[in-house]
Structure 1
């Protein structure tokens, strides 16, 4: 009887541990399934703000509306809105809702210059970047380097990210300049924030104003 009882306790302990592991794995799977929707909601809200579809002071939809639209829980919506609030994109007013913030970035000198190129592997770019970095360093600036692999979608993503950071200027080699630029609104945002930008190695026909040879 004692041996049987010990075996029962051992089996029960193993069962309980297995149940814990199962619960943890199910939670991880659930979180993994939620994560893309959470990320998509956060990026969609950020894009509407960056592209000025939602302007400072605009009230964003309610948690219930987002939850229904994206088929996610209100808790997941709250997490996305909370992170955007911490990042300065949104602010909440008790009893009124959540609103788009007045952006406080780009209002002070950061001493950061962003440099966006299509590739780094081509023979010309290492020397080009080295020269840019030498000049910036000599003038007390830091370089923020990004590449697009000649993808217009990647270029747009880079610019969206840079618009959320403090930079004093942008040096950019545009992607696929033979095709009309579809994200001119991001360059308009640069103008709105007072961020100068310069094209190198090419330019978009509809944006000749910042051409440099």
Structure 2
């Protein structure tokens, strides 16, 4: 998938116009400038950022609930998937509140600057995930953050609000799910990534900790 393929995917399947592509162009420029001082993404991926990062993040938009007002992105790092989701929402769902959680203050500075320059509706929280209070979010996402069992530990307090968890994973997704089910009751499905032939997206609709006798 090259940049033209990504643009076609965004236009035809996600449904965005040139306005969103221009926001992503700006995002790419900002990443290139800030990445010289802060390790936001691997330098080797900058030349393929549309395929490796933008499309990989944008495919999560297709898995959102029909009605959505709040999206929580954990460990946002360089803005994936959170800022890409916010860029899409700016055109397709302007009232959607995207919250980006990142403990690294330098990365938060980047996220704040990028959100402002891209004119997207995103809140950046410079906090550790465990300090974020529980609340209603229709989607909680995390990309390349932690194994599934750890992600469920992080999000357990949100379970009563029935969020949809969207976790892009690699080739070990099934083994992570199998391992997590030793401690968790999980309603989940695994879907192949549209971008990475080795990748999968783990979508969890309900989860609860196994109660051992």
Q: Aligning the two structures, in what range does the TM-score lie when normalised by the shorter sequence?
A: under 0.3
Q: Computing the radius of gyration over CA atoms, which structure comes out larger, 1 or 2? A: 1
Q: Which has the higher helix share?
A: 1
